[in-house]
């Protein structure tokens, strides 16, 4: 039996592209360091708006074939990041993009937003018990910015982490596993504000015309809540390339990018997190620079060979 990599990281996201925007540098860094990086994407992003006019026919209100197209975009993005283990929750197409909050699509059959969180979590429990990650990354309870699929991804990820550890839950899905550390995606408010101050000047040298606002950036929060920052500097190009692979959703012109609303946002090469479960409770002092910090005992050989 070949031993699995000692460090194993699981990310749970709502749509293809969220992983590259939020965690592209982090994923590339850990993959390059030999960690096992697993991405679980909950929907195919079928309701996304399409940027390139030549692909407009894919949209949900026309051919409704954007989902399968985005499976290809995600695969190309993962290649850029060096991530080989990427899956869709319950298999591709099991859950459908719910669209923006308050739209009809929220209640369409198969919409992720109308899924039973426990039932959806069971699919993730199976992945957790198979991969046995020490670290999980997902969104905060608001999903970063209130999108129904992001809120649901948060609920499902947190629920699955609990259920995976529960010995009485569905032993047919594998041996119980406790995830040692859980993080939520964050951006410190001071960093977001500083980057938006520079954005006006950067805009003039870009193909974009209008700026987004700090409020458009998911997960912005008070600096005190940030426990961890991952310097993705060396992986900035990989992150930008992964974002470019999601061409129906993102246009990149470093150091900026736009979504379909065409409002320019900064591309963050440092990625920030709030540790919400596990790890040392260092009273708000120095930020961690490694998601696996403090887990040496968990990742030792004894634990790995016990799998």
Residues forming contacts to Zn ion in the complex (CB under 5 A) are 14-15, 18
Query: Dihedral sign, CA of 93, 7, 280, 306?
Result: positive
Beta carbon nearer to Zn ion, 209 or 261: 261
Q: Which is nearer to Zn ion, 14 or 136 (CB)?
A: 14
| Least separation in angstroms between CB 150 and Zn ion | 6
Please state the closest distance from residue 273 (CB atom) to Zn ion, in A: 18
Minimum gap (Å) between residue 22 Cβ and Zn ion: 9
Least distance between Zn ion and beta carbon 184 (Å)? 15
Smallest gap from residue 225 Cβ to Zn ion (A) = 22
252 closest CA partner among 79, 51, 78? 51
Q: Which is nearer to Zn ion, 38 or 43 (CB)?
A: 43
At closest approach, how far in Å is the CB of 159 from Zn ion? 19
Chain residue at closest Cβ approach to Zn ion: 15
Nearest to 124 by CA among 94, 96, 146: 94
Residue nearer to Zn ion on the CB measure, 18 or 80: 18
Taking the complex as a whole, how short is the minimal distance between the CB of residue 31 and Zn ion, in angstroms?
21
| Shortest distance (Å) from residue 11 CB to Zn ion | 13
Q: Which is nearer to Zn ion, 14 or 35 (CB)?
A: 14
3-state secondary structure the chain: CCCCCCCEEEEEECCCCHHHHHHHHHHHHHHHCCCEEEEEECCCCCCCCCCCHHHHHHCCCCCCCHHHHHHHHHHHHHHHHCCCEEEECCCCCCCECCCCCCCHHHHCCCEHHHCCHHHHHHHHHHHHHHHCCCEEEECCCCCCCCCHHHHHHHHHHHHHHHHHHCCCCCHHHCCCCCCCEEEEEEEEHHHHHHHHHHHHHHHHCCCCCEECCHHHCCCEECHHHCCEEEECHHHHHHHHHHHHHCCCCCEEECCEEECCCCEEEECCCEEEEEEEECCCCCCCCCCECCCCCCCCCCCCHHHHHCC
- CA dihedral in degrees (160, 165, 166, 171; nearest 10)? 90
Query: Of 6 and 42, which CB lies nearer to Zn ion in the complex structure?
Result: 42
147 or 236: whose CB is closer to Zn ion? 147
Q: Which is nearer to Zn ion, 45 or 255 (CB)?
A: 45
């Amino acid at each position: 039996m070949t031993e699995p990599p000692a460090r194993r990281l699981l990310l749970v996201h709502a749509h293809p592209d969220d992983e590259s925007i939020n965690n592209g540098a982090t994923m590339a860094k850990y993959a390059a360091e030999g960690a096992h990086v697993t991405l679980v994407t909950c929907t195919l992003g079928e309701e996304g708006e399409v940027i390139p006019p030549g692909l407009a026919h894919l949209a949900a209100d026309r051919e409704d074939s954007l989902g399968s197209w985005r499976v290809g975009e995600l695969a190309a993005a993962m290649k850029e990041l060096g991530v080989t283990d990427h899956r869709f929750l319950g298999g591709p197409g099991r859950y459908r993009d719910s669209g923006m909050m308050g739209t009809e699509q929220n209640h369409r059959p198969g919409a992720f937003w109308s899924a039973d969180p426990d039932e959806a979590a069971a699919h993730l429990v199976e992945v957790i018990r198979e991969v046995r990650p020490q670290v999980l990354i997902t969104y905060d309870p608001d999903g970063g910015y209130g999108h129904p699929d992001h809120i649901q991804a948060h609920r499902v990820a947190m629920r699955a982490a609990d259920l995976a550890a529960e010995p009485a839950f569905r032993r047919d899905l594998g041996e119980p596993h406790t995830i040692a550390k859980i993080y939520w995606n964050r951006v410190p408010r001071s960093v977001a504000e500083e980057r938006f101050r520079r954005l006006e000047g950067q805009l003039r040298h870009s193909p974009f015309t209008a700026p987004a606002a700090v409020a458009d950036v998911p997960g912005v929060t008070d600096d005190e809540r940030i426990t961890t920052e991952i310097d993705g500097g060396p992986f900035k190009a990989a992150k930008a390339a992964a974002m470019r692979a999601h061409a129906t959703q993102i246009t990149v012109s470093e150091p900026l990018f736009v979504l379909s609303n065409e409002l320019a946002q900064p591309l963050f090469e440092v990625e920030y997190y709030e540790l919400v479960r596990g790890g040392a409770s260092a009273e708000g002092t120095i930020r961690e620079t490694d998601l696996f910090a403090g887990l040496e005992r968990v990742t030792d050989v004894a634990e790995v060979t016990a799998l």
